[in-house]
């Protein structure tokens, strides 16, 4: 790991003498966006985008390093020369990352809980996450730490981080759902097709229910991001060149649709004109 990161740093310096740059891609075990193992390996939307960038940036050497959400954040915060194929743009990350143009479109993150326990949650079309954390201390939420969900959700989680009924853990979505099934937590936050993918892996369709969270936009875009600095600026310039050439094609937009149901595919297509300009 350290050797590859050092190689990326050395490549950034040696580029001045005409050497090739190296992008070290921080990749996540984050089904169904990025799938590193098993039957569906490589079939996520971030996988497809990463493959496209590697193919269309032949003048750059590429390395992939699996990381957790929190490790990716830590490495980039410390200035290690990394890029990642799918990440949300936030004010905090602006301080240590440089971002591409919008790359992929995603439907909103939602509250996820066991379908047979739906009666424990307040009625209504949407759920107020902050009110849930403040007033329903009998319900325990669990989320993956180091992950950004949406601006309004991130603000609530930061504001309520000290609440005893909120557990933030450096783990993966499948493990969070396992805690849900074991009764260790009562709800989590996931994308709807992320929850559906986990149901498929478990062979238990319909076991999870999802509800929109108050204030969450109907769609969110992710970007390619690199560590802030001259090297990162140079890499993102190359990434944006690829996006400009491909973003209007049906094949490219199909990356955002991987693992969506037919209804959600139709819904997400309505957002492309404003999201991928």
Each residue's pLDDT tens digit, 188-215? 999 988 998 999 889 999 999 999 999 9
- Report pLDDT for 263: 83
Condensed to tens digits (0 to 9), the pLDDT of residues 202-257 reads 999 999 999 999 999 989 899 999 999 999 999 999 999 999 999 989 999 999 99
Superfamily of domain 109-212: Periplasmic binding protein-like II (3.40.190.10)
Domain boundaries of the chain, sorted by first residue: 2-12+20-105+219-275, 109-212
Q: Over the stretch 97-142, which tens digit does the pLDDT of each residue have?
A: 999 999 999 999 999 999 999 999 999 889 999 999 999 999 999 9
Q: Decide whether 2-12+20-105+219-275 matches 109-212 in CATH topology.
A: yes
Query: Where does the pLDDT of residue 12 fall: very low under 50, low under 70, confident under 90, or very high at 90 and above?
Result: very low
Q: Where are the beta strands (DSSP E) in the chain?
A: 22-28, 61-67, 83-87, 97-99, 104-107, 110-114, 141-144, 166-169, 188-190, 208-212, 219-227
> pLDDT above 90 covers what percent of the chain?
74
Rounded Cα gap, residues 49 and 276, in angstroms: 14
**Other beta carbons within 10 Å of 216:** 21
Q: Looking at the domain 2-12+20-105+219-275, which fold is it?
A: D-Maltodextrin-Binding Protein; domain 2 (3.40.190)
Strands of the sheet containing 188-190, edge to edge, are 188-190, 110-114, 208-212
pLDDT in tens, 139-177: 999 999 888 898 899 999 999 999 999 999 888 889 999
Q: What is the mean pLDDT of the chain?
A: 90
Q: Is the pLDDT of residue 6 over 70?
A: no
Separation of alpha carbons 217 and 92, rounded Å = 19
Strand partners, 87: 223
Q: Which residues contact 277 (CB under 8 A, 6 or more apart)?
A: 102
Confidence of residue 9 (pLDDT cuts 50, 70, 90): very low
162 vs 13, which has greater pLDDT?
A: 162
């Amino acid at each position: 790991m350290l050797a590859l990161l050092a190689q990326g740093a050395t490549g950034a310096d040696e580029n001045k003498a005409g050497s090739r740059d190296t992008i070290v891609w921080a990749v996540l075990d984050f089904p169904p966006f990025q799938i590193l193992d098993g039957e569906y390996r490589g079939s996520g939307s971030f996988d497809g985008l990463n493959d496209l960038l590697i193919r269309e940036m032949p003048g750059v050497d590429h390395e992939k390093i699996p990381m957790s959400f929190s490790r990716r954040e830590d490495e980039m915060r410390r200035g290690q020369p990394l890029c990642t194929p799918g990440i949300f743009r936030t004010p905090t990350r602006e301080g240590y990352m440089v971002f591409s143009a919008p790359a992929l479109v995603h439907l909103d993150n939602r509250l996820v809980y066991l379908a047979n326990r739906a009666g424990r949650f307040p009625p209504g079309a949407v759920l107020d996450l902050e009110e849930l954390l403040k007033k329903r201390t009998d319900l325990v939420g669990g989320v993956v730490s180091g992950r950004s969900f949406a601006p309004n959700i991130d603000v609530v989680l930061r504001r309520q981080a000290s609440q005893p009924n909120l557990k933030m853990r450096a783990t993966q979505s499948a493990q969070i759902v396992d805690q849900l099934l074991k009764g260790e937590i009562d709800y989590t936050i996931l994308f709807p097709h992320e929850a559906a993918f986990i149901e498929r892996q478990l062979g238990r369709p319909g076991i999870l229910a999802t509800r929109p969270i108050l204030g969450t936009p109907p769609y969110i875009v992710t970007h390619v991001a690199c560590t802030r600095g001259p090297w990162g600026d140079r890499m993102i310039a190359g990434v944006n060149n690829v996006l400009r050439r491909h973003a209007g094609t049906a094949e490219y937009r199909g990356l955002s649709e991987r693992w969506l149901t037919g209804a959600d595919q139709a819904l997400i297509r309505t957002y492309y004109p404003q999201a991928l300009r």
